[in-house]
Amino acid sequence: MMKTKRARYTLEFKLEAVRLVGAGQSIAATAAILGLPDQTLHNWLKAHREGSLGGAGSKPVTPEQMELAMLRA
């Protein structure tokens, strides 16, 4: 049985996702745009409210992905 690797996201990526939701976009739509599970985004929002949102820095986010996320918002 092979172990799957967990995705790791930068703090910048997480904060951008939180900002999109804060700007009025739904959690489901934001998660779909960014290609991550709804529950993950929900956890980030909760951690952000509590002031404990951190980043890993090992999953690169291309400028194109960030631009697409901002345009779709």
Predicted TM-score (pTM) of the model is: 0.70
pLDDT higher for 24 or 61? 24
Polymer length in residues for the chain: 73
Rounded distance between C-alpha atoms, residue 2 and residue 7, angstroms? 16
Mean pLDDT across the stretch 58-67?
Answer: 68
Report the chain's mean pLDDT, rounded to a whole number. Answer: 84
Rounded distance between C-alpha atoms, residue 15 and residue 12, angstroms? 5
**In this model, does residue 1 exceed pLDDT 50?**
yes
pLDDT higher for 1 or 67? 67
Confidence of residue 54 (pLDDT cuts 50, 70, 90): confident
**In this model, does residue 43 exceed pLDDT 90?**
yes
